[in-house]
Amino acid sequence: MELPNFSISSKKSEELCALAEGWCGGRVWLMRCWARELVMECIRNG
């Protein structure tokens, strides 16, 4: 799945987690919504 035009970085990961939670209903669903790399960033940073 293609990601939106966001930079995946420690600065952005918290914001992206919040967006993904809003879109997907919670972090448990992140794997269905985002590439694995972003999921790993979110777990590491929050």
Residue 13 counted as domain residue: no
Q: Where in the sequence is the domain holding 31, given as residue range(s)?
A: 21-46
Residue 16 counted as domain residue: no
Residue 9 counted as domain residue: no
How many domains would you assign to the chain? 1
Residue 2 counted as domain residue: no
Q: What is the mean pLDDT of residues 1-17?
A: 62
**pTM higher than the cut 0.75:** no
Residue 25 counted as domain residue: yes
Close Cβ partners of 6 (under 8 Å, ≥ 6 residues apart): 12, 16
Q: Give the pLDDT of residue 2.
A: 61
Close Cβ partners of 13 (under 8 Å, ≥ 6 residues apart): 38, 41, 42, 44, 45, 46
Residue 32 counted as domain residue: yes
